[in-house]
Structure 1
Amino acid sequence: MGRYAKYVETNGLIEASPTAIYEFLDDQSNLSAHMRQSSGMMLGSSMDIHMEPDHARHVGSRFGFTGRILGIPLSVEEVVTGREPPISKTWETTAEPRLWVIGRYMMGFELAPTAEAGTILRVYIRYDLPAGGFTRLLGRVFGGIYAAWCTRQMVVDAQKHFDHQPVKPLKATHS
């Protein structure tokens, strides 16, 4: 697993080709839509996404999020580190994020066609706990829950886009 201590993934079936799914997910605004919406996981807050004009569709493209939860500023800066259309994409934080429950991380997705007409989407995150004392404690308690929510939302958003109905992910895995 490399240099990150924690790992979470979510897998889901989507009834579309890997090429179509990749084109949708390669636009970081689609992949990160759950961060722009108010949610219970974000304590009713949302984040603003900023990115280069290519919507993070190239290795080296930069993007990030800013926002507030309970009045406390949050931010994260990321860069696309790998891209293999229509199979996989990865991105990673460029500095220690200002988040409550996870520290530096690397995320990605992989697409694998099935024998039927669908594709398995696997979204994963490898992460460390936050560096700070109190946020590190929060990370020990809530980091895995947040990481699973985030990967699950990416899978469910893609399923909804292609299937036009909410579909439960196949599974989420923690380690």
Structure 2
Amino acid sequence: MKTFQKTMVIHSTPEMVFAQLDDLSKTGMHMSQSSLMMLGSKLKLEQLSTNSIGMGSKYRWYGKMIGMIIDFSEIVTEWQPPVLKKWETVSDAKIIIMSWYRMWFKISSHKKGPTVKLAISYLPPKHWFYKILSFLFAKWYCNWCLNNMLHGAKKNLEAKIV
């Protein structure tokens, strides 16, 4: 299993930072918009559970990238506002560069403001072709996701302070 993580101070309250990062429509926005990293593709987000946040909330991301199907569901496995959230893929995830992943963030208070540690741990795909793609692109993609999630939250929350 490989893990990547990023840490960032966000000038807001821990509660507002948690709420921002807890909302997948905001933190996953980078996957639902066309971009170079997504090779011009974008994924759709569907809420599967009756609750949009909290333990057991479940979502599905789906679409195509360069003709390959992407279709996976995520479920929240740990939820302790305003400190910690963990979520991971469930069932048969169809992701080009991963077979499974878990993401989490932890918010700790410091003098400069809440510090967020955001991480992703993943397993590479089982098929040799996708293993090669994972070897070539997974680190790049994971860092892109983590940066987008953190910088998006920082930009959104700190804009409200000004």
Structure 1 residue 53: deviation in Å?
4.5
8 Å CA contact 1:122, 1:155 repeated in 2: no
CA distance in 2, matches of 1:80, 1:163: 26
Segments ≥4 residues shifted beyond 4 Å: none
Please report how far the alpha carbon of residue 139 of structure 1 lies from its aligned counterpart in structure 2 after TM superposition. 0.5
- CA shift for structure 1 position 19: 0.8
Match of 2:51 in 1: 54
Once the two structures are superposed, residues 127-151 of structure 1 have per-residue CA deviations (whole angstroms, 9 ceiling, x without a partner) of: 0101111001110111111111111
> Any gaps of 5 or more consecutive residues in structure 1?
166-175
Aligned length: 159
Aligned equivalents of 1:164 and 1:12: distance in 2? 16
The corresponding residue for 1:32 is 28
The residue type paired with residue 32 of structure 2 is R
Inter-partner Cα distance in structure 2 for 1:148 and 1:102 = 14
Aligned position for 2:143: 148
Q: Which residue is equivalent to 2:37?
A: 41
Describe the SS at the equivalent of 1:30: helix
Letter of the aligned partner of 1:131 in structure 2? Answer: K
Task: Check whether the contact 2:2–2:123 (CA below 8 A) recurs between aligned residues.
Answer: yes
Percent identical pairs in the alignment equals 29
- Taking only aligned residues, the RMSD between alpha carbons, in angstroms, comes to 1.4
In the alignment, structure 1 residue 110 sits paired with structure 2 residue 106: yes
Match of 1:75 in 2: 71
Shift of 1:112: 1.1
Partner SS for 1:23: helix
TM-score, normalised to structure 1's length? 0.86
AA matched with 1:15: H
Secondary structure, aligned partner of 1:29: helix
Match of 1:172 in 2: none
User: Any idea what the Cα deviations from partners look like across 1:67-106, whole Å, max 9, x if unmatched?
Assistant: 1111221111111000011001000111242111122011
Unpaired runs of 5+ in structure 2? Answer: none
In structure 1, C-alpha distance between the alignment counterparts of 2:75 and 2:68, rounded to whole Å: 24
Q: TM-score, normalised by structure 2?
A: 0.92
For residues 33-55 of structure 1, the C-alpha deviation after alignment (integer angstroms, 9 at most, x for no partner) is 11111111110111001113432
Is the contact made by 2:16 and 2:157 (CA closer than 8 Å) also made in structure 1? no
